[in-house]
Amino acid sequence: MRKLLSVLMAVVSVLFVSNARGELHVDIVAGGVEPTSIAVQKFETSGNVSNSDAKMLRQVVEADLKRTGLFRIVNHDAFPEFVKMNEMPNFKSWDAIKTQALVQASLKPEGKDSYKLEFYLWDVKGQEQIEAQSLVASKKSVRRLAHIMADAIYERLTGEIGYFDTQIVFIAETGPVDNRVKRMAIMDQDGFGMRYLSDKKTFVMSPHFSPNMSTVVFLSYRNDDPTVWMLDLETGDQTKLGSFGGMSFAPRFSPDGNRVALSLVKNGYTNIYEYNIAEKSLKQLTFGNHIDTSPSYSPDGRYMAFNSDSTGSQQIHVLDLKTGKNKRITFGAGRYATPAWSPDGNYIAFTKIADNTFYIGVMNTEGRHEKILAGGWYMEAPSWAPGSRRLVYYETEQAADGEERISHIRSVDITGQNLYDIELKDGINGVEPTWSPKLP
């Protein structure tokens, strides 16, 4: 995976932290908060650094921060000065234009094929430097420097885990609605650098990353045999998970990456099983003459959320993997599906179908305090960003007569605010997205 990204990353951090009570902090929990104003200076350059690369990095950092809805990017034309890297800002002049945070950065060569990026983050009101980092990456992977820099700024100002240096794996659909080609694809979280991971010949679905980002597990209809496969992201090798004597689907890695939960149809019934990769053994987890599917592990690996129609309608249940006991946790109007446990362990995201409308929502792990984040004609497959503050999902628009159905990959935060599309190339419909952990 790292070879594919062509990155050699060395990170050296020097932190300047104040204990002052008034230190700048962004409120990420409340909805509708006033964005924090942040000024990102033009990157200083030296040596044979490409000015276009420096300009691109600044744009990516600003775009990452702006998309959160938590930051307002100060207009470049309003800047009162240009502060060189080893000089102190004139805090009064920045405060006069209502700037709360100021970012300085420089980009210089590091050896023949790499760049070194240094940046400082200033709290204007507190008149102090609160972050300083030095990052090195290959020129081929220079865009990652911007995402890592944006993560550091976001984390310092919010206290939460950043999610910019991440990727999304999804199914890219092309062609007419009655003859869609489905290919597995991967891209950066902002839609940049999309590339295909499967060919046009094989129908694929339900891709999910391993915790260490080395592997994607997915459903493949190869040779009309719907089974679970694994793709090595570094080598491109694909391996069939096993021959289980029935249709297997809805795969999901365990938090330690050693097991894969999946649904398996046997004797007309669908139950959830767990496959041990090292031992090549299969263990049945749920039992009964109903449909259990869409397994999702809790981050500590102790529990599993899944949807089941065992009580008469499709609802979300939680299975204790140690005792084997499971309980239903959703009791609201409508049907519930595709649970996704948040990385911090505090929430379960879900799809809800009620009154001929699809919804994406979140609730606590007991099924309480349900909050609907989005609704529409058809939407499904919520997946969490690192830090548990944003979700990605897909929405399909209802087509008018003679028009093609269009599917979008969308992102929303857990307050229900700041919903946006992740832009894809023309002619590509995105479905079944899964957000990666932070890149190694």
Q: Mean pLDDT over residues 96-119, rounded?
A: 96
**Four-CA torsion 89, 90, 95, 99, nearest 10 degrees:** -30
Closest CA to 274 of 311, 237, 238, 301: 301
Q: Give the whole-angstrom CA distance, residue 254 versus residue 262.
A: 11
Average pLDDT of the residues in 151-177: 96
Owner of token pair 């080598």: 235
Give the three-class secondary structure for 373: strand
Instruction: Yes or no: say if 324 and 338 are a contact pair by the CB < 8 Å rule.
Output: no
CB 92 within 8 A of CB 80: no
pLDDT at 401: 67
Whether the CB-CB separation of 387 and 163 falls below 8 Å is answered with: yes
Q: Residue 39 and residue 11: Cα distance in Å, rounded?
A: 23
Q: What share of the chain has pLDDT > 70, as a percent?
A: 92
Unique residue bearing structure tokens 């009154």: 355
pLDDT of residue 92: 98
Mean pLDDT of 60-83: 97
How many Cα neighbours within 13 Å face the side chain of 206?
24
Provide the pLDDT confidence category of residue 27 given band limits of 50, 70 and 90.
Answer: low
Angle (CA) 55 58 59, round 5°: 85
- Are the beta carbons of 150 and 414 closer than 8 angstroms? no
99: its two tokens: 């700037």
Q: What is the pTM of this model?
A: 0.92
CATH architecture for segment(s) 2-158: 3-Layer(aba) Sandwich (3.40)
CA distance 230 to 294: 17
Structure tokens that stand for 146 in this block: 């911007």
Written as one string, the DSSP assignment of 284-344 is E---SSSBEEEEEE-TTSSEEEEEE-TTSS-EEEEEETTT--EEE---SSSEEEEEEE-TT
Strands 195-196 and 181-188 turn out to be: antiparallel
Name residue, tokens 């979300």: 316
Candidates 244, 248, 253, 246; CA nearest to 263 is 248
pLDDT at 286 over 80: yes
Task: Tell me the chain's radius of gyration from C-alpha atoms.
Answer: 23
Residue range 366-399, pLDDT digits in tens: 999 999 999 999 999 999 999 999 999 999 998 7
Give residue-wise pLDDT tens across range 227-243.
999 999 999 999 999 88
- Tokens describing residue 358: 């699809």
Which residue in 252, 218, 249 sits closest to 232, CA to CA? 218
The pLDDT of residue 155: 97
Cα dihedral 127, 130, 134, 139, rounded to 10, equals -80
* Sequence spans of domains, the chain: 2-158, 167-435
**Phi–psi pair at 350, nearest 5 degrees:** -155, 165
Q: Which of the residue ranges 21-25, 225-229, 300-304 has the most confident prediction, judged by mean pLDDT?
A: 300-304
State yes or no: pLDDT of 329 exceeds 60.
yes
Instruction: Determine the pLDDT at residue 328.
Output: 98
Cβ 271 vs Cβ 264: under 8 Å = yes
Give me 47's structure tokens: 């040596």
| pLDDT classification of 67: cutoffs 50, 70, 90 | very high
**Would you state the structure tokens that stand for residue 197, as one six-digit string?**
């991971």
Secondary structure class of 382 (helix, strand, coil): strand
Which CATH fold would you assign to the domain 167-435? Neuraminidase (2.120.10)
List beta partners, residue 352.
Answer: 336, 359
